[in-house]
Amino acid sequence: MQPESTEQPDSDTVIPYQGWHVIHLFFQIDQTQWAMLSDEEQREAKTSLSEAVQEIRSAESTQLLTFSMVTPKADLGFMLLTDDLHKANEFEKRIGRALGPDMLTPTYSYLSMTELSEYTTTEEQYGETLVEEDIEKDSDEFKEKIAEYNRRIEKYNQDRLYPNMPDWSVFCFYPMSKRRGEVHNWYGEEYETRRKLMAGHARVGRQWAGKIRQLITGSTGLEEYEWGVTLFSHNTQDIKEIVYQMRFDEVTVKYGEFGDFLIGLQLPLDELFRRVGL
């Protein structure tokens, strides 16, 4: 989206025209280094990380989630959402240093941004479906349905750009792209074809409404993949099943490219420290 103003931006901030920056961070703890610290040094290190998390969480337009990662892919996971890229950079560096030198080793990271979907049904498209359902265009019923649709879309867009992340326990993150193969090339398809395919894809996902909270963030030009997908649930099986069922949808069958999946448990800091051996 192009900027609405021609004024020069503040050189001390890098804030998108809409939405937030999102960084997923994953670390291994050097348990040998940790064991060499005295009890007092360990307490100071944990206090340092706790204070960093609390101060980051208190920053304006910022959220920070903490995870104990499942499997040895990583020990600690963090999901940082904030408006300014300078803040995001400062915060992620502070997290990495919080326990002391060489204590946390990055195993994976991902930078993306919250964004709107280009395939969201427009008011005009929704109105056409109402007409197809024999609702007269100038009727009160038509106007009421359009007004309700606009309210719903406004909230949907707000939640995509400025989400309030849940405290649900099970966390899943994976990157993905759309295929550009010789046979199946997503970007070689007409827009209307892509829009209809994505509408069907969304219908599959809505079967897990209330069981899965999802955030899709864009990373074209920022990472190797084009999107980051973050899922939250109360039960691992719901995540397993939604991803499994999605793979039968045409969008995924023909065009889906996936990176590694990382699974974690969202925990408060005191429990997180115990879980990862700090």
Q: What is the pLDDT along the chain (278 residues), one digit of tens a residue?
A: 445 544 555 568 999 999 999 999 999 999 999 999 999 999 999 999 999 999 999 999 999 999 999 999 999 999 999 999 999 999 999 999 999 999 999 999 999 999 999 888 888 888 888 888 888 888 888 888 889 989 988 998 999 999 999 999 999 999 999 999 889 999 999 989 998 898 888 888 888 888 999 999 999 999 999 999 999 999 999 999 999 998 898 889 999 999 999 999 999 999 999 999 99
pLDDT number for residue 133 = 85
Given the residues 149, 162, 174, 244, select the one marked as catalytic: 174
Q: pTM here?
A: 0.90
156 is catalytic: no
Q: How far apart are CA 129 and CA 135, in angstroms?
A: 9
Q: How far apart are CA 220 and CA 209, in angstroms?
A: 27
Tell which CATH architecture fits domain 21-114: 2-Layer Sandwich (3.30)
pLDDT number for residue 10 = 57
- Alpha helices in 59-136, H assignment, sequence order: 85-97, 123-132
pLDDT number for residue 2 = 47
- Residue 264's beta-bridge partner residues? 69, 171
Q: Got the DSSP string for 239-277?
A: HHHHHHHHTTSHHHHHHEEE---EEEEE--HHHHHHHTT
Which residue from 71, 69, 86, 105 is spatially nearest to 23, judged by alpha carbons?
86
Give the start-to-end residue ranges of the domains of the chain: 21-114, 118-162
pLDDT number for residue 136 = 83
Q: How far apart are CA 162 and CA 120, in angstroms?
A: 17
Which residues are CB-neighbours of 167 under 8 A, at least 6 positions away?
A: 266
Are 211 and 202 in contact, with CB atoms under 8 Å apart? no
